[in-house]
Amino acid sequence: MTVEGAECGLKLLYLSIVILSVALLIVCKYYAGNSSNPNRLIFALGFILGLTPFAKMQSVPIALSIACIFLHTLWLKSIARGQFIRSLAAFFLGGILFSALVILYLTIFSIYDAFWKSYIQQNLLIYSTHGLMGNVNQLSFFGKINIFLRMLRRVPDTRILFLFTAIVLILGVPFLIIKRFSLSLNQEKSNTFCFVYYSLFILVASSYSIIRPGNGFTHYLLFLIIPSGFLIGVFLGELAKVLQVSQLTLSNLKLSLLTGVIFITITAS
């Protein structure tokens, strides 16, 4: 890969992270119920997630995880079937809008075949079992996981962040789950606990996006920054509720997420 190609790939990765971060923020905003026009917000979410394949194909699994999370929250919060269908339609219309515009542009200028071969097929080959990356893609999935784990240990700038994330993942999250299920029926349970599972889902999807190519490009670890902060923020917020340190409300979820972002800033500096 040339220097120009590497720089272009890095910029597209940054763009993908911005898109995914905004999408995750919209999901949290929708769950909090602070929008006067939720269908407009839902349409915007679909449109933003629809941009991800054109920013960087590698970010698609993460975008799909955010989409699945939103669909679950939509199902939880929809009161009537008609409301659910309208919101679902707004989401899918937003999701296909940019793709439709791209296809229209490619068709008008008769460059559809060039786009398909140079972008779609190229990306599909890179992530296929025997693709353009040669021996890298002939590694077993467990071999790629070993490369991923070495990357986590090798990069000093994010080592503390990912170490803390691992501690939360191995010790903190199981503690929260066990503590939650041990509560008696007459004890009030957190109405934001689903975000623990959401954060785990996004973390797994982000890890898969890094592992699947099978190479050791350490800048791919940037895909883990936001999911790590999200997991840490959700964990701290739910831990405070479980231990009854403070009575957090739904609006205070933003504060716990902000704590995770501050932690990222400190550890990555």
What is the identity of the amino acid at 15? Answer: L
Per-domain residue ranges for the chain? 1-126, 139-268
Instruction: Return the pLDDT at 246.
Output: 44
Q: Is the pLDDT score of 268 beyond 60?
A: no
What is the C-alpha separation between 116 and 140, in angstroms, rounded?
28
CA dist 241 and 189 (Å) reads: 9
Chain centroid to Cα 3, Å, comes to: 28
Range of 182-191, 197-206, 236-245 with top mean pLDDT: 197-206
pLDDT tens for 147-189 read 999 999 888 888 899 999 999 999 888 888 887 777 655 555 6
Tell me the pLDDT of the chain averaged across its residues. 83
Instruction: Return the exposure string of 214-244: e unless at least 16 CB atoms fall within 10 Å of the residue's CB, then b.
Output: beeeeebbbbbbbbbbbbbbbbbbbbbbbee
pTM, rounded to two decimals? 0.83
Q: How many CA within 13 A on the CB side of residue 269?
A: 6
pLDDT higher than 80, residue 129: no
Per-state percent for the chain, helix, strand, coil, to nearest 5: 80, 0, 20
Mean pLDDT of 105-120: 88
* pLDDT grade for 116, boundaries at 50, 70 and 90: confident
DSSP string, 215-260: S--GGGGGGGHHHHHHHHHHHHHHHHHHTTSS---GGGHHHHHHHH
